[in-house]
Chains A and B, each alone.
Chain A
Amino acid sequence: AQTVTQSQPEMSVQEAETVTLSCTYDTSESDYYLFWYKQPPSRQMILVIRQEAYKQQNATENRFSVNFQKAAKSFSLKISDSQLGDAAMYFCAYRTPNTGNQFYFGTGTSLTVIP
């Protein structure tokens, strides 16, 4: 069974600093996709970044980057130069083509940004 684990229920970061959110997953598949979604207080789920397992290069989107360690089944999100608008719940998610439309979500990390 596929599982996604986020071991940090809550994190905080000083504005302009860097924070890393952790995510591990369990799978026997070799081909899959990993995602980080952000859910601010408005509760709209927003895609932050996406990584294909077959790509060794870590994905980046502006201030957001991932550290993808396939052998360790780890997919952490680094937020640089944190801004107040980054405060949100962050969910790690996993999908494999073999499971059709099934996305597996982690339990989430609540990020607070301190001014």
Chain B
Amino acid sequence: DTEVTQTPKHLVMGMTNKKSLKCEQHMGHRAMYWYKQKAKKPPELMFVYSYEKLSINESVPSRFSPECPNSSLLNLHLHALQPEDSALYLCASSQDDQNEEKLFFGSGTQLSVL
């Protein structure tokens, strides 16, 4: 299994809603990432979990709340989002080995905030 699975694929939410994005991998990877991507732009790093601990938080607003319940799962909780938060949210994983590194990406959740 070399897949990173993200759900849902599409999400429309209002500014007062609370929703969660989910990500799962079964490759034994110990690092998991959330990226935000606007159209025709590169992915922007939001958060990194390494061995289930938050290791990088790129000054993301608190309306985005990551959670790593175990080594296979990564969630992104959304609350009180703004229309400018509409984007593709990509999850990725890697082995977290300094000598063997590549990112495996999920297919993303396309989020629209109304």
- A97 pairs with B99, CB closer than 8 A: yes
Tell me whether A43 and B107 are in contact in the complex, defined as CB-CB below 8 angstroms, given that A100-B50, A101-B33, A101-B55 are known contacts. Answer: yes
- B41 pairs with A107, CB closer than 8 A: yes
Interface 1/0s, chain B 87-100, versus A by CB < 8 A?
Answer: 01010101010110
Question: How many chain A residues touch the partner (CB < 8 A)?
Answer: 24
- B107 pairs with A97, CB closer than 8 A: no
- B45 pairs with A102, CB closer than 8 A: yes
Contacts of B40 in A (CB 8 A): 89, 108, 110
- A105 pairs with B43, CB closer than 8 A: yes
**Distance A112 CA – B90 CA, assembled complex (angstroms):** 24
Q: How large is the interface on B (under 10, 10 to 19, 20 to 34, 35 or more residues)?
A: 20 to 34
What would be 15 A-B contacts, judged by CB atoms less than 8 Å apart?
A: A35-B102, A37-B105, A43-B107, A43-B108, A45-B90, A45-B105, A46-B105, A47-B103, A50-B102, A100-B55, A101-B31, A101-B55, A101-B96, A108-B41, A110-B40
**Residues on A facing B (Cβ under 8 Å):** 33, 35, 37, 42-47, 50, 89, 91, 93, 95, 97, 100-103, 105-108, 110
With A100-B56, A101-B48, A101-B94 given, can you name 8 additional A-B contacts, CB distance below 8 Å? A43-B88, A45-B43, A89-B40, A91-B42, A95-B101, A101-B50, A101-B96, A106-B42
**Residues on B facing A (Cβ under 8 Å):** 31, 33, 37, 40-43, 45, 48, 50, 55-56, 88, 90, 92, 94, 96, 98-99, 101-108, 110
Q: Which 10 A-B pairs have the closest CB atoms?
A: A105-B42, A45-B105, A97-B98, A44-B107, A101-B48, A101-B31, A43-B108, A47-B102, A91-B42, A108-B42
